């Protein structure tokens, strides 16, 4: 036993310099870790499309390895450590909860570059990426205000984190602008993943009169299924889910990480990656609304497209003043727009929304 | 308002049914003296096998009936195995099961559509509960199960096979958990995705303790739990300012309170709990 061990160590020592030489010719390993399984649709699927874009862009220069369905916590930390130990030089951390462990690992592994979905801490070799989904939800909110007949819009939301709160506010502002009588009902599911409960939440707001339901950050077509069955409209997050609700989907807010992943991996390969906070919006194509429902008239679509163009050019801003919060306090003055740091730390609801935020 | 009340009733029943089904299985298992903590995995496996069966055959009944096989097979493996089997079905959708409105009763306003317009299994669950109550209380099989759970040595001494009884009880428990999982995947949610049981298996374990191993309290507990989860969503949707995490945790808090109250009187707790619950039994001893 002892002898075998020494043999093994000797072999390992001999192999070491070899791997060092071979590394220049071998493809660079890119590791990706997702919180949920890669399915037909959803968050992990969109991340994986980004991975495919990277493979396509760099061909033989890279090889990718995906570890999917890893809950945030010690498991994730272990998996990422393993990826780095296996020689990954670029790691995509696909969920908010991977941040602290990931950052610690990044500090220990200066030769590995990391990008992390959402989050607020960066380092030289640790960048974060977020989409300005609220821009897309503003457009979808306009559509919701246009089509609602009951003047009630329901929102089924995962967790009250700033990103989601910004989306809720964007939907409300847009829908109200189109239709001042609109009432918004929000249900926080307080879970990133519980399809049965998401459906219960959707049925709850529908029973309370909602004829358009927003599915904020639900990874499966759970809410889309309910909307299709109940005959109401739905706007979902992540992927185009119109196949699951051909009549119901009013529009799908779709994430597209391809161009950012390709850019970041490219920089890393060239050795000039710099960890920053990437915030892609309508302008960069990181987020868009797809599968618009035919119920929207040409005139309505024209108005939506016009707004989209104005948001892209910077002429318009989702959180432009004057803007008041629930309590009536002015948050943004006339002629100003909410600055980025405040958008990404949003912890208040806009005027007219009832209910409280889970703290 | 009317539709909201209808949903309050129908949603409660729909949320309570899988809990009740799985909890009845767990109750039998625990009454026989085994503490089965793999309900979550069994439900997950039931969910995916049920879903796969529907995809293959299109029959809800086959999907639900198939659970005999899965019930036997699983333990802790269930969760991991469900992910493996389910990979190709991730995020897919099936048609909902047909509803059977009960004549006359379903015509009653609010209560009718709320309580008497469901798929068959929703009605079946409380009927099964009545059967289970009667079985445990008044039949020979029920007596054997209880004897094995209370004093396996005595049961063995008078000639009953403890191992066989417990084995059968665990099979039935697995079947019921699988049925509950299949119900969630094919009747209430109509989709399957890894992790979709989302902790309900643990609620089931808590429910059995909450009910102090009694079937009547189990039914009430499951319905209360369903009611709390649905009411919470409606309260939120109505825009009433109550912290939603607090609401979300009400059912769990209720369980903790109930267990605390029950265990304050230690004798009462011990009186109801199967005496040999969780203890190893060695038949050769």
**pLDDT tens digits, residue range B236-284?**
899 887 776 777 777 678 777 776 776 676 666 666 788 888 777 776 5
Contact B218, B207 (CB under 8 A): yes
Shortest distance, CA B82 to any CA of chain A (angstroms): 12
- Rounded-to-integer distance, Cα B223 and Cα A276, Å: 50
- Tell me if B239 and A185 make a contact (CB, 8 A cut-off): yes
**Pick from B83, B196, B241: CB nearest A196:** B196
Please give the pLDDT value at position A176: 95
Test A356 with B234 for CB contact under 8 angstroms. no
Residue B271 pLDDT:
63
Report the gap between the CA of B199 and the closest CA in chain A (Å): 9
Q: State the number of CA atoms in the 13 A half-sphere of A204 facing the CB.
A: 31
A73 HSE (CA, 13 A, CB side): 4
Enumerate residue ranges in chain B where pLDDT < 50. Answer: 75-76, 285
Least Cα distance to B234 among A156, A282, A178 occurs for A156
**Dihedral angle sign, alpha carbons of residues B248, B250, B256, B259:** negative
The ranges of chain A with pLDDT < 50 are: 1-3, 5, 10-23
The pLDDT value given to residue B51: 85
Q: By CA distance, what is A39's nearest residue in B?
A: B90
Q: Which residue is closest to B234 within chain A, CA to CA?
A: A204
Question: Does the beta carbon of B43 lie under 8 angstroms from any beta carbon of chain A?
Answer: no
Instruction: Chain B: give the shortest CA distance to residue A210, in Å.
Output: 10
pLDDT of residue A23: 47
Of the candidates B227, B238, B234, the one whose C-alpha atom is nearest the C-alpha of residue B14 is: B227
Buried b (16+ CB within 10 A) or exposed e, A333-351: eeeebbeeebbbebebbbb
For an interface test with B, give the residue of A72, A152, A189, A195 to mutate (most B CBs within 10 A): A195
What pLDDT does A142 receive? 98
Whether the link from the prior residue into B76 is cis, omega within 30° of 0, is no
Neighbouring CB atoms inside 10 A of A1's CB total 4
Tokens 């950052």 correspond to: A103
Contacts of A199 in chain B (CB under 8 A): 188-189
- In this prediction, the answer to ipTM > 0.95 reads no
Chain B residues near residue A355 by CB distance under 8 angstroms: 236, 239-241
The Cβ-side half-sphere exposure at A111, using a 13 Å CA radius, reads: 7
What is the pLDDT, as a whole number, of residue B285? 47
Q: What is the number of alpha carbons within 13 Å of residue B131 lying toward its C-beta?
A: 8
CA distance B219 to chain A (A): 21
CB contact under 8 A, A154 and B96: no
CA-based radius of gyration for chain A: 23
Contacts of A190 in chain B (CB under 8 A): 244-245, 248
Q: Which B residues in the span 67-106 are in contact with A, Cβ-Cβ below 8 Å?
A: 83, 87, 90-93, 96
Are the Cβ atoms of A188 and B234 closer than 8 angstroms? Answer: no
For residue A13, the model assigns a pLDDT of 47
Interface test with B, best of A34, A36, A38, A39 (most B CBs within 10 A): A39
């Amino acid at each position: 036993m002892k002898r075998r061990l020494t043999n093994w160590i000797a072999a390992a020592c001999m192999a070491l310099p070899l791997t060092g030489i071979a590394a220049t010719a071998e493809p660079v390993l890119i590791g990706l870790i997702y919180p949920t399984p890669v399915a037909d649709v959803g968050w992990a699927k969109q991340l994986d499309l980004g991975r495919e874009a990277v493979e396509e862009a760099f061909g033989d220069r890279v090889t990718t390895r995906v570890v999917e369905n890893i809950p945030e916590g010690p498991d994730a930390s272990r998996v990422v450590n393993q990826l780095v130990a296996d020689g990954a030089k670029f790691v995509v951390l696909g969920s908010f909860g991977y941040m602290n462990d990931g950052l610690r690992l990044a500090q220990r592994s200066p030769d590995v570059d990391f990008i992390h979905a959402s989050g607020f801490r960066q380092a030289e070799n640790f960048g974060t990426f977020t989409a300005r989904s609220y821009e897309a939800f503003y457009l979808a909110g306009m559509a919701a205000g246009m089509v609602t007949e009951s003047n009630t819009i329901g929102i089924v939301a995962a967790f009250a984190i700033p990103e989601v709160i910004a989306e809720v506010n964007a939907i409300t502002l847009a829908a109200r602008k189109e239709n001042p009588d609109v009432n918004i009902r929000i249900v926080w599911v307080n879970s990133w993943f519980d399809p049965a409960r998401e459906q219960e939440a959707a049925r709850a707001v529908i029973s309370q009169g909602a004829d358009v339901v927003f599915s904020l950050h639900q990874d499966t077509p759970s809410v889309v299924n309910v909307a299709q069955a109940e005959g109401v409209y739905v706007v979902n997050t992540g992927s185009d889910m119109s196949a699951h609700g051909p009549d119901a989907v009013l529009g799908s807010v779709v994430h597209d990480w391809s161009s950012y992943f390709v850019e970041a991996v490219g920089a890393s390969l060239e050795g000039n990656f710099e960890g920053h906070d990437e915030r892609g919006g309508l302008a960069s194509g990181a987020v868009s609304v797809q599968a618009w429902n035919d119920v929207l008239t040409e005139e309505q679509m024209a108005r939506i497209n016009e707004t989209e163009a104005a948001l892209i050019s910077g002429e318009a801003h989702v959180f432009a003043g004057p803007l008041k919060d629930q309590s009536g306090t002015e948050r943004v003055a006339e002629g100003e727009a909410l600055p980025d740091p405040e958008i990404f730390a949003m912890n208040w609801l806009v005027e007219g929304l009832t209910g409280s935020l889970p703290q | 308002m009317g539709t909201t009340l209808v949903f309050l009733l129908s949603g409660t029943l729909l949320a309570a049914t899988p809990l009740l089904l799985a909890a009845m299985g767990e109750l039998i298992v625990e009454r026989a003296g085994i503490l089965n903590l793999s309900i979550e995995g069994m439900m997950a496996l039931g969910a995916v096998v049920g879903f796969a069966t529907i995809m293959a055959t299109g029959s809800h009944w086959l999907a639900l009936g198939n659970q005999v096989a899965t019930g036997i097979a699983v333990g802790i493996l269930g969760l991991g195995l469900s992910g493996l089997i389910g990979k190709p079905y991730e995020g897919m959708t099936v048609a909902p099961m047909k509803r059977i409105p009960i004549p006359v009763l379903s015509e009653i306003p609010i209560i009718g559509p709320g309580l008497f317009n469901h798929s068959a299994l929703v009605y079946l669950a409380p009927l099964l509960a009545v059967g289970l109550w009667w079985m445990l209380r008044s039949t020979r099989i029920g007596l054997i199960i209880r004897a094995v759970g209370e004093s396996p040595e005595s049961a063995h001494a008078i000639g009953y096979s403890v191992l066989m009884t417990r084995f059968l009880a665990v099979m039935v428990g697995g079947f019921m958990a699988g049925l509950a999982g299949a119900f969630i995947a094919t009747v209430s949610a109509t989709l399957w995705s890894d992790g979709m049981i989302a902790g309900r298996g643990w609620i089931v374990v808590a429910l059995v303790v909450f009910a102090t191993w009694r079937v009547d309290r189990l039914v009430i507990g499951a319905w209360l739990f369903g009611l709390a989860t649905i009411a919470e969503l409606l309260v939120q949707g109505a825009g009433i300012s109550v912290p939603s995490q607090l609401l979300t945790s009400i059912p769990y808090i209720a369980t903790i309170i109930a267990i605390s109250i029950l265990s304050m009187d230690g004798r009462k707790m011990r009186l109801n709990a199967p005496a040999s619950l969780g203890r190893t039994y060695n038949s050769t001893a």
